[in-house]
A and B are shown apart, each in its own frame.
Chain A
Amino acid sequence: EVQLVESGGGLVQPGGSLRLSCAASGFTFSSYAMSWVRQAPGKGLEWVSAISGSASTTYYADSVKGRFTISRDNSKNMLYLQMSSLGAEDTAVYYCAKRAYMYGYCDSWGQGTLVTVSS
């Protein structure tokens, strides 16, 4: 059974940084691309970033480009999202999601971790 468990969320001041982690299990982690998707309180889903299985390719939404960095450690089955220069607009639940093999949709999701940017 696929399991994705996010951690690292919390309260951070504007301009601050935070690193989210996602522990993956139940599948061959290195074979699958992964994504981060976020959802601001009461709002819709927003795709944030994606990374290939080998970590050779990364993609970002314009709203986070230059501020967020996605990475992975295939030896530890871990996905990360390093976030910096955080603003109130980054307040959201952040979901880690496994992408389907060779396709772009997400077939498994974590439970999410809440990031609150506030002074």
Chain B
Amino acid sequence: DIQVTQSPSTLSASVGDRVTITCRASQSISTWLAWYQQKPGKAPNLLIYKASSLEGGVPSRFSGSGSGTELTLTISSLQPDDFATYYCQQYNSFPYTFGQGTKLEIK
């Protein structure tokens, strides 16, 4: 099974900051990675697929990059609505594992 390690687990930042979250896979997953945002009590919401493709309706301040074993999610200028928990998920091979999550908190 492919293990996915997400870091950091918690990130404190301010509105307007640029932040980066990283997912490292235990073996190459090419660009078969998605990023989701989840707010308390709600279902996850797809942000990015295939490592860097923005889902429709997602603000352009969200971007993804990387391939192989190290992939990143960047939020270029944090907005109040962005404070949430973020998860990556590899879909290179079953089981489709998630990262442990990154809680983005207001500093």
Residue A26, interface by CB 8 Å: no
A105-B91 contact, Cβ under 8 Å, with A45-B44, A95-B43, A112-B43: yes
Q: Smallest CB-CB separation from A111: which chain B residue?
A: B43
CB < 8 Å: which of A59, A106, A112 contacts B95?
A59
Inside 8 A of B92's CB, which chain A residues have their CB?
104
For residue B27, give the distance in angstroms from its CB to the closest CB of chain A: 16
Q: Given the complex, which residues of A lie within 8 Å of B98, measured CB to CB?
A: 37, 44-47
In the assembled complex, A100 has its CB within 8 A of some CB on chain B: yes
A89 adjacent to chain B (CB < 8 Å): no
Report whether over half of chain A's contact residues are helix, strand or loop; otherwise say mixed. Answer: strand
Q: Which residue of B lies closest to A93 (CB)?
A: B43
* Interface contact tally, CB-CB below 8 A: 59
Taking CB atoms, residues of chain A closer than 8 Å to B44 are: 37, 45, 95, 106, 109
- Pairs across A and B, CB under 8 Å, 18 listed: A35-B96, A45-B36, A45-B98, A46-B98, A47-B89, A47-B95, A47-B96, A47-B97, A61-B95, A104-B32, A104-B91, A104-B92, A105-B46, A105-B89, A105-B91, A106-B34, A106-B36, A109-B45
New A-B contacts (14) at CB < 8 Å, excluding given A47-B95, A106-B89, A107-B46: A35-B96, A44-B87, A45-B89, A46-B98, A47-B97, A47-B98, A50-B96, A59-B94, A95-B43, A95-B44, A104-B91, A109-B43, A109-B44, A112-B43
Top 8 closest A-B pairs, CB basis?
A104-B91, A105-B34, A109-B43, A44-B101, A59-B94, A45-B98, A47-B96, A105-B49
